[in-house]
Each structure stands twice: as C-alpha cells, then as structure tokens.
C-alpha cells in the first residue's frame, strides 16, 4: 500500500493566501478611508502588510486552538505582534518637512 504524504493543517497550507487576502483588504481600506481619494503611501503599505500578517497569524492561531495546541496558538499570536512592531519600526509615519518661517530666512 502506498503511503500518502502528510501535510500540515489546512490553515498552515494556506497561510500565504490568508496573508494576501489580509494585505489586500487592509490596503484597500487604508487607502480609501482617509479623505482625498485613494492613494498609495507609506502608511497604506504599512497597514496592508500588518493586516496580511495579522490575518495569516490569526488563521494559524484559530486552527491551533481548535486542535488544542495552545503553545502553537500563542506562538502565532506572538509572531503577529512582533511583525506589527517590526513594521512600525521599518515604516514609520511620514513627517512633513519642517518649514522655516519667512522671518528666519530674511533676517
């Protein structure tokens, strides 16, 4: 009898799809939610990447909880938190350039 390959849980096999779904949904919401029409800037990219990471980790954590693998669920949650923190550091808020008052330039 031929042995079939065992694969990981369904959510682990599709974590990449969940990341893309979360990134697209979060990116669209972040892009359109602010006034002035849709735009692609650093904040939108950061929100999209964070949304993708959180959705993928949440799917892994919920699957682990259903299987009563609590350590795996905790690790997935901690991974999501770490990813959000790293993205906050790598893609900080854009700051407007400091404008020099006209009085400083003239005299």
pLDDT value at 95 more than 80? no
23: helix, coil or strand? helix
Backbone angles phi, psi at 46, to 5 degrees: -60, -45
67 lies in some domain: yes
Count Cα atoms within 13 angstroms, Cβ side, for 49: 18
Check: pTM over 0.85? Answer yes or no.
no
Which tens digits make up the pLDDT trace of 3-19?
Answer: 665 555 555 567 888 88
- The pair of structure tokens assigned to 1 is 């009898």
> How far apart are alpha carbons 79 and 84 in whole angstroms?
9
The whole domain housing 58 covers: 11-93
6 lies in some domain: no
Report pLDDT for 93.
Answer: 79
50 lies in some domain: yes
pLDDT tier for residue 62 given thresholds of 50, 70 and 90: very high
> How far apart are alpha carbons 40 and 86 in whole angstroms?
20
Which tens digits make up the pLDDT trace of 67-86?
Answer: 999 999 999 999 999 999 99
pLDDT tier for residue 37 given thresholds of 50, 70 and 90: confident
Q: How many domains does the chain have?
A: 1
16 lies in some domain: yes
Find all residues with CB under 8 Å of 58, minimum gap 6, and list them: 76, 80
């Amino acid at each position: 009898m031929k042995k079939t390959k065992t694969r990981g849980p369904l959510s682990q096999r599709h974590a990449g799809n969940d990341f893309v779904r979360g990134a697209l949904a979060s990116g669209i919401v972040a892009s359109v939610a602010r006034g002035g029409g849709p735009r692609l800037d650093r904040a939108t990219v950061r929100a999209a990447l964070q949304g993708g990471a959180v959705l993928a980790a949440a799917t892994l954590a919920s699957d682990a909880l259903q299987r009563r693998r609590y350590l795996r669920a905790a690790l997935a949650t901690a991974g999501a938190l770490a990813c959000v923190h790293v993205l906050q550091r790598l893609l900080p808020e854009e700051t407007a350039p400091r404008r020099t008052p006209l009085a400083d330039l003239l005299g």
